[in-house]
């Protein structure tokens, strides 16, 4: 509740902006999960051109069958009961708002086919669908193997525990590598891999030129500069690290700081000038440190400061969207008159109840 002493203050934004004030806004970029979703749902369709290609013909036929099966499963109790009788697992049907649900649904189709092939044929017959031959099942297996890498990357980026902005660029680099490796083992889905790689280049290549993105990634002990593909890129990243660290005031290293505290009050030792770590030395030691745990940055004061500066941001807005979804459970129809402070407190408690 607002007290009597509290008053609303009107702020003239025009006057503030005209005075030359430059707001320190956080880094702005497109949600990484949203971009990967667009690659999966939009850029991947480039593989379907021309429609007369072998990949397009297989895709339209097989996914036409699957969509009919999913539709029948959602609409018919008799059909859903048949699936329960034939298999130990239920069908998963796609959600229009989550691309990952399509991948999960295809994976479940393949699991059911592997579990009971005769039951799988009976399921297609009950859905008034043509049977899928082994060549078409192989196509579906290849499609799932290729898309598995994209689905894994999407799940990683959408996380909110132990995930930082610095995970975005390494995720894209490794996703590219996995897709390129798949090109040597697939026969029917080569156009799909080419379309995904093209989509990754179109949507993420510019991120590798952004100073903030590079600094966020190379300051993660898990990666440092190892994820970069050329020596020139790694040298450039190390130069950026040193420049950013040099922008901070020189300060003793962690060990020297502890020694200084122990020697406090001893006038004899104060005669000896303190030895400070230069930014280049600290960054060099950080790069040579084999530790990959996040706790290792505590030994490098400048590295820690820059890490906090660039890795406070998450690579995806999925966490915020989950918070909005949780807010609907707190602000229900029967609780419309709840106060702002109470609503905020209950929402934060609900989001952190596992702590």
Same domain, 51 and 131: yes
User: Any idea which of 56-65, 186-195, 276-285 has the lowest mean pLDDT?
Assistant: 276-285
Indicate whether 300 belongs to any domain: yes
Chain mean pLDDT for the chain: 84
Most distant pair of Cα atoms in the chain: their distance: 93
Domain count of the fold of the chain? 2
284 or 263, greater pLDDT: 284
Specify which of 34-43, 95-104, 276-285 reaches the highest per-range mean pLDDT: 34-43
Radius of gyration of the chain (CA): 28
Domain that holds residue 138: 32-166
Same domain, 120 and 42: yes
On the CB side of 246, how many CA atoms lie within 13 Å of its CA? 9
Angle at 47 between CA 41 and CA 49, to 5 degrees: 115
Looking at residues 241-267, what average pLDDT do you find?
59
241 or 84, greater pLDDT: 84
Residues 132, 120: Cα–Cα separation, whole Å:
10
> pLDDT by residue (tens digit) across 138-174?
999 999 999 999 999 999 998 878 889 999 999 999 9
Indicate whether 129 belongs to any domain: yes
pLDDT number for residue 204: 93
pLDDT number for residue 36: 92
With a pLDDT cut of 70, the percent of the chain lying above it is 85
> Contact 120/65 with Cβ under 8 angstroms?
no
SS3 95: strand
Query: Hey, what are 346's tokens?
Result: 């209950």
Indicate whether 277 belongs to any domain: yes
pLDDT number for residue 63: 95
What sign for the dihedral angle of Cα 107, 112, 115, 117?
A: negative
> pLDDT by residue (tens digit) across 110-123?
999 999 999 999 99
pLDDT number for residue 132: 93
Q: What is the DSSP letter of 53?
A: S
pLDDT above 70 (res 3): no
Same domain, 154 and 71: yes
Same domain, 155 and 228: no
The model scores a pTM over 0.85: no
Indicate whether 303 belongs to any domain: yes
pLDDT above 60 (res 91): yes
> pLDDT by residue (tens digit) across 208-218?
888 888 888 88
Same domain, 146 and 221: no
pLDDT above 90 (res 285): no
Indicate whether 101 belongs to any domain: yes
Indicate whether 291 belongs to any domain: yes
pLDDT above 80 (res 272): no
pLDDT number for residue 253: 46
Indicate whether 98 belongs to any domain: yes
130 or 257, greater pLDDT: 130
pLDDT above 60 (res 252): no
With a pLDDT cut of 90, the percent of the chain lying above it is 41
């Amino acid at each position: 509740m607002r007290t009597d002493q509290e008053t609303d203050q009107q702020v003239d934004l025009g006057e503030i902006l005209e005075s030359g004030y430059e707001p320190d806004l956080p880094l702005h970029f497109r949600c990484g999960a949203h971009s990967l979703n667009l690659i999966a749902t939009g850029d991947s369709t480039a593989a379907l051109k021309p429609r007369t290609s072998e990949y397009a013909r297989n895709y339209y036929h097989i996914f036409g069958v699957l969509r009919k099966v999913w539709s029948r499963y959602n609409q018919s109790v008799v059909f859903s009961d048949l699936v329960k009788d034939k298999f130990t697992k239920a069908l998963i049907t796609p959600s229009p708002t989550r691309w990952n649900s399509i991948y999960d649904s295809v994976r479940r189709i393949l699991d059911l086919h592997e579990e009971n092939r005769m039951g799988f044929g009976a399921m297609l017959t009950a859905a008034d669908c043509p049977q899928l031959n082994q060549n078409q099942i192989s196509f579906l297996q290849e499609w799932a193997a290729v898309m598995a890498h994209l689905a894994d990357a999407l799940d990683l980026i959408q996380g909110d525990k132990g995930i930082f902005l610095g995970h975005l660029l390494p995720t894209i680099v490794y996703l590219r590598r996995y897709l390129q490796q798949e090109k040597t083992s697939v026969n029917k889905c080569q156009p799909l891999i080419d379309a995904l790689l093209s989509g990754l280049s179109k949507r993420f290549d510019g991120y590798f030129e952004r100073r903030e993105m590079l600094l966020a990634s190379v300051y993660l002990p898990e990666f440092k500069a190892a994820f970069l593909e050329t020596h020139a890129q790694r040298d450039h990243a190390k130069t950026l690290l040193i420049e950013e660290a040099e922008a901070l005031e020189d300060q003793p290293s962690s060990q020297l700081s502890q020694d200084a505290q122990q020697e406090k009050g001893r006038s004899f030792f104060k005669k000896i000038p303190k030895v400070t770590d230069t930014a280049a030395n600290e960054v060099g030691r950080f790069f040579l440190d084999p530790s990959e745990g996040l706790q290792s940055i505590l030994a490098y004061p400048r590295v820690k400061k820059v890490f906090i500066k660039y890795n406070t941001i998450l690579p995806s807005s999925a966490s915020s969207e989950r918070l909005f979804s949780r807010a609907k459970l707190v602000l229900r129809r029967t609780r419309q008159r709840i106060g702002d402070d109470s609503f905020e407190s209950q929402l934060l408690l609900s989001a952190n109840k596992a702590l």
